Amino acid sequence: MSARQFQIDGLPAANFSALFALPDTELQSRHIQRRIVAELHDAPCRVSLMDAEPGEEVLLLPFAHHTLATPYRSSGPIFVCQDASEAMLQPGEVPDSLHRRLLALRAYDAAGWMLACDVSEGQQVEALIERLLQLPGSAFVNIHYARAGCYAARARWA
């Protein structure tokens, strides 16, 4: 492991908390769906970076995770749990929601241009995150769930 450690960041809860109070008709007009989780590991929350529990209310919504003005600009679906606490990971820590899934990682420079990409089983992702962050000019790594293609989290140097 390198002397520097990476930090994985979830999304701020404040960006989503007011959405849960909206009626379903308003959510639908924003392309958001309210769901009750049926099975464990079906809905990884992008705020807590934990899997929602069966019976828990989540929102499935579009999220722009790469907004810099390049051809790589993109958005995709994410789940957010009601009353989710923001992830407070230690440097170098990978949450279980990432460890249990096949991941696709994309390294970008500060202007948003992709430098490299690769896939990894979640249990081996630490080495790939470090390798991608060590690329010359690398500013951050976007992590996606490879099978569904959904944005999961962002990694950067701590």
3-state secondary structure the chain: CCCCCEEEECCCHHHCHHHHHCCHHHHHHCCCEEEECCCCCCCEECCCCCECCCCCEEEEEEEEEECCCCCCCEEEEEEEECCCCCCCCCCCCCCHHHHCCEEEEEEEECCCCEEEEEEEEHHHHHHHHHHHHCCCCEEEEEEEECCCCCEEEEEEEC
pLDDT of amino acid 46: 98
Residue 111: partners with Cβ closer than 8 Å, 6 or more residues away: 68, 70
Token look-up 């923001």 returns: 86
Task: Write the pLDDT tens digit of every residue in 103-114.
Answer: 999 999 999 999
Residue 125: pLDDT over 80: yes
pTM to 2 decimal places: 0.95
Task: Write the pLDDT tens digit of every residue in 20-71.
Answer: 999 999 999 999 999 999 999 999 999 999 999 999 999 999 999 999 999 9
Backbone dihedral angles phi then psi of residue 75, each to the nearest 5 degrees: -145, 170
Residue 1: pLDDT over 70: no
